[in-house]
């Protein structure tokens, strides 16, 4: 069952309403102009997955696996931490994690914007295919592994093997990079890169837009793995 605290907001309490009922409602379009508030998530998995309409959803608390996965058009704000795979396979829209994100944030994302105010764990942006990700803190090892398209902006530090096996995605890091992965290299920041970072930081909103985009480093593919080289002996 649902209760509306005001005429302008629809509230779902996951302690009294089955998550399946909440997601079924969000898979439709009736009432899409009314913001939705989800309370007492208590680490539940698969909250607000598979939306394909411009819902405005706020989740008040910590979430489990795959929150806002497969999102299309919706804007989701998580007022807490997010478990593994937040915004996984996201197509469009916006997902904003006010806390920290666990492993594989934004994995396989095709589009849209994922904003993480805190740190992101291992494999942030793994296999990203066009999504933009802005991380206010640091990212763990193997972030942007096999990232094919999109941009990852890291306002803190990056762990080991950043950008391992990169394709056409580009990573921007303000802090220290522990190590680069295979075929990833640091390149000079162009005026276009500075403009790109500035636009992404502005889109992410405060406090991210307070960073100077000229302080970031560009990491991109050296393109040595695009074709098999039998003489490389697996050393790249």
**Stretch among 3-7, 27-31, 49-53, 201-205 having the lowest mean pLDDT:** 3-7
For residue 6, what pLDDT is reported?
54
41-221, CATH topology level: Pectate Lyase C-like (2.160.20)
DSSP 24-91: HHHTS-TTTTS-EEEE--TT-SSTT-S-BS--EEEEES-B-TTTTTT-BS-EEEESS-B-TTTTTT--
**What six digits make up the tokens of 31?**
């009432």
CA 26, CA 71: separation in Å to the nearest integer? Answer: 11
- Is the pTM higher than 0.85? The answer reads yes
The per-residue pLDDT for 227 is 72
Instruction: Say what percent of the chain tops pLDDT 90.
Output: 91
* Residue 232 pLDDT level (bands cut at 50, 70, 90): low
pLDDT band at 85 (very low <50, low <70, confident <90, very high): very high
129-162 residue pLDDT tens: 999 999 999 999 999 999 999 999 999 999 999 9
Q: Do residues 41 and 47 touch, judged by C-beta distance below 8 A?
A: yes
HSE toward the beta carbon, residue 191, CA cutoff 13 A: 0
Average pLDDT over residues 112-127: 98
Bridge partners (DSSP) listed for residue 63: 82
Task: Say whether pLDDT at 230 is over 80.
Answer: no
The string over 151-177, giving b where at least 16 C-beta atoms fall within 10 Å of a residue's C-beta and e elsewhere, is bbbbbbbbbebbbbbbbebbbbbbeeb
């Amino acid at each position: 069952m649902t209760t509306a605290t005001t005429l302008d907001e629809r509230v779902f309490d996951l302690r009294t309403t089955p998550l399946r009922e909440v997601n079924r409602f969000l898979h439709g379009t009736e009432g899409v102009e009314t913001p939705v508030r989800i309370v007492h998530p208590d680490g539940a998995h698969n909250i607000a997955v598979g939306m394909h309409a411009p819902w405005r959803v706020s989740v008040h608390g910590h979430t489990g696996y795959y929150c806002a996965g497969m999102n299309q058009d919706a804007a989701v704000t998580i007022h807490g931490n997010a478990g593994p795979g937040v915004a996984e396979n996201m197509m469009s829209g916006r997902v904003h994690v006010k806390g920290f994100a666990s492993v594989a944030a934004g994995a396989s994302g095709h589009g849209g914007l994922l904003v993480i105010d805190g740190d992101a764990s291992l494999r942030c942006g793994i296999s990203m295919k066009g999504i933009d990700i802005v991380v206010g803190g640091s990212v763990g090892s193997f972030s942007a592994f096999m990232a094919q398209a999109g941009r990852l902006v890291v306002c803190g530090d990056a762990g080991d093997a950043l950008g391992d096996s990169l394709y056409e995605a580009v990573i921007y890091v303000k802090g220290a990079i522990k190590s680069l992965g295979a075929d990833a290299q640091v390149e000079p920041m162009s005026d276009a890169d500075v403009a790109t970072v500035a636009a992404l930081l502005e889109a992410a909103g405060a406090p991210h837009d307070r960073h100077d985009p000229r302080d970031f480093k560009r990491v991109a593919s050296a393109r040595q793995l695009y074709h098999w080289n039998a003489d490389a002996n697996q050393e790249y």
